[in-house]
Amino acid sequence: MANLIPPRFKVVIDYEKCRKCKRCVINCGFGVYSFSDRVIPDHKKCVSCQRCVAYCPEEAITIIENPNVFRPNSYWTMEERINIMKQASSSGMLLTGMGNDRPYKNYFDHLLIDACQVTNPSIDPLREPMELTTYLGSKPDAVKVKVEDGQIKLDTKIAPQIKLDTPIIFSPMSYGSISLNAHKALARAAKECGILMNTGEGGLHKDLYPYKDRIIVQVASGRFGVNQEYLDHSAVVEIKIGQGAKPGIGGHLPGEKVNREVSETRMIPEGTDALSPAPHHDIYSIEDLAQLIYALKEATNYEKPVSVKIAAVHNVAAIASGIARAGADIIYIDGFRGGTGAAPTIIRDHIGIPIELAIAAVDDRLRAEGIRNSVSIVAAGGFRHSGDVAKAIALGADAVAIGTAALIAMGCHVCQMCHTGNCSWGIATQRPELTQRLDPDWAAGQLINLIKSWSLELKEILGALGLNAIESLRGSRERLRGIGLTDTELAILGVKHAGR
């Protein structure tokens, strides 16, 4: 009785304008359109990904939200009712793509950045050099120098560092959850921008080997595609513990998405479920984590930083402290707005905490313990623009990672249907007729433009603050003010209220 479920969207076709070119039929990955005499939409199948709208040459298509799906009720929302109907007809867990879209308080929008005025003048970034370069990796407690042959030389052995030309990297998105063309675009853009892309937990396709200096490879509980060759083709090795969209649970790429190439990259037979449960069954303590961190350091000759990725959860500060003490060089924290290829809706929407609070809590704790320098903090989970980036860095992050924003740059319209594998934009799909829609060169160009734009804006923000290096902004919470926040929230964020 799945047809109890009413259509959420209505596809309105202006038949006066339509010239029956059938482009909408071809472009829809969800099979909305059929053709007999004229194009006929099946409203129930529409997810409002807007691909047909963009490709209709006559602008004959408008997709609207179905105005009267149910009797209005602000408690029993349309979503809640549709979800109950789906579950009543299936007995499964509801699955969803992209990040948490519930209207929880968004702290970025309650933070304002300071600016210079008369006495401490701002800097004009168009004239003055502005430094966005960021180094990820463990920094020593102190640096000793020695004089040798009249030259000053460093006498402290520095842990491996990764140079970023701007403090933004791409979030982990596995090959499997997104297409190979999307992966190629991310790798090319990362190289061009001097930043990093992250393979996620789906292994590394050989076509990406040439970009190895710009790639973070993940070692997750399922250990998909992990072998020495994989570790060798990376700049950073990341142990994936958690993900913002689904803290505390694992990943599951259903067998039907494990085609020949995905199977080769993950090193599992075609068509088998790729299960990566939440726990690494060899990690039950910080000591176990330390053991894996050092196994990876051994395997990579202590030449690469090891990162540990966790979801932002209530106890994140204590966990981060343990991770730092276990020998990680980078802690990657993913907030609850983090996107996903597929997560149970109930987990995505109700578990975890916002990244803003997590950054502040972790930075405070590591500072209080005197070990903040021993790890870099990468923050992720819903960064929408360079203002969010600047605020995160002022709260204490070294760099941020963007996933959803990067997908949007490549054409994603956030229809939240990635888990179906039917992405009409050719991004979150493995269907060959769809993946070929994404031109990796074009998509790389879009990503490069986005990173350049945000970097320009970051320089502008720094100039307004009278700073000439992003380093000076890191953890500088005095340059932030809260607006409309409670005393507790201000205390956790470590910022004063606007006007103080």
Partner 1 sequence: MPEGKVVAMEINAKGMYYRDLNNILREKVAEGVTEFVLQGINGQRYLGTGLKGKVKIEVYGTPGNDLGAFMDGPEITVYGNGQDGIANTMNDGRIVVHGHAGDVLGYGMRGGELYIRDSVGYRVGIHMKEYKKQVPVIVVGGTAGAFFGEYMAGGILVVLGLNKKEGEPLTGDYLGTGMHGGAIYLRGEVEKDILGKEVAEFSLEEEDYRRLNPLLENYAKFYNIALEEIMAVPFKKLVPVSHRPYGKLYTY
Q: Please give the annotated binding residues for [4Fe-4S] cluster, written as ranges.
A: 18, 21, 24, 28, 46, 49, 52, 56
* Positive or negative: CA dihedral 87, 90, 94, 97: negative
Measure Cα distances from 146 to 142, 154, 257 in Å.
Answer: 13, 6, 57
Contact between 416 and ligand SF4 (CB under 6 A)? yes
Residue 95 binds which entry of partner 1, ligand SF4, none, with Cβ cut-offs from 5 to 8 Å by kind? partner 1
Interacting residues with partner 1 between 211 and 230 (CB under 8 A): 219, 221-224, 226-229
Which does residue 414 touch among ligand SF4, partner 1, none (CB within 5 to 8 A, set by kind)? ligand SF4
CB of 268 or CB of 319, closer to partner 1: 268
Question: Within 264-293, which residues bind partner 1 (CB under 8 A)?
Answer: 267-269, 271-273, 275, 277, 280-282, 291-292
Burial of residue 311 (CB within 10 Å: 0-12, 13-18, 19+) is buried
Q: Under rule CB under 8 A, which residues in 412-451 are in contact with partner 1? A: 419-420
* Annotated binding-site residue numbers: 18, 21, 24, 28, 46, 49, 52, 56
User: Of 276, 134, 220, 191, nearest to 447 (Cα)?
Assistant: 191
Among 428, 458, 462, 470, binds ligand SF4 (CB under 6 A): 428
**Closer residue to ligand SF4, CB minimum distance, 401 or 493:** 401
Which residues partner with 252 through β-bridges? 275
Give min distance, CB of 366 to partner 1, in A.
26
Interface pattern 59-98 for ligand SF4 (x via CB under 6 A): -xx-----------------------------------xx
Q: Is the dihedral of CA 96, 97, 102, 107 positive or negative?
A: positive
Q: Are residues 95 and 419 in contact, defined by beta-carbon separation less than 8 angstroms?
A: yes
Q: Which is nearer to partner 1, 296 or 423 (CB)?
A: 296
Q: Where are the alpha helices (DSSP H) in 171-243?
A: 180-193, 228-232
What is the distance between the alpha carbons of residues 230 and 233, in angstroms, rounded to a whole number? 5
Q: Does 119 bind partner 1 (CB under 8 A)?
A: no
CA distances from 107 to 78, 104, 358 (A): 27, 9, 11
- H-helix or E-strand spanning residue 324: helix 316-325
Q: Enumerate residues 17-36 that contact ligand SF4 by CB under 6 A.
A: 18-24
- 116 part of the interface to ligand SF4, by CB under 6 A: no
Report 87-106 residues binding partner 1 (CB under 8 A): 87, 89-95
Which of 418, 470 has the CB closer to ligand SF4? 418
Contact 189, 448 (CB under 8 A): yes
Q: What is the SS3 assignment for 360-418?
A: HHHHHHHHHCCCHHHCEEEEECCCCCHHHHHHHHHHCCCEEEECHHHHHHCCCCCCCCH
Residue 71 partner contact from partner 1, ligand SF4, none using kind-dependent CB cut-offs of 5 to 8 Å: none
Q: Which of 409, 410, 435 is nearest to 424 (CA)?
A: 435
> Which residues, numbered 331-360, are part of the site for partner 1 (CB under 8 A)?
344
Alpha carbons 288 and 327: distance in angstroms, whole number: 11
Q: Three-class SS of residue 112?
A: strand
Residue type, 89: S
Among 159, 290, 299, 414, binds ligand SF4 (CB under 6 A): 414
Interface positions, 96-115, toward ligand SF4 (CB under 6 A)? 97-98
Q: Minimal distance in Å, beta carbon 94 to partner 1? A: 6
**Distance between CA atoms of 14 and 241, rounded to whole angstroms?**
50
Interface positions with ligand SF4 (CB under 6 A): 13, 18-24, 39, 49, 56-58, 60-61, 97-98, 407, 412-418, 423, 425, 427-428
Interface positions with partner 1 (CB under 8 A): 86-87, 89-95, 219, 221-224, 226-229, 231, 252, 254-255, 263, 267-269, 271-273, 275, 277, 280-282, 291-292, 294-296, 298-302, 344, 419-420
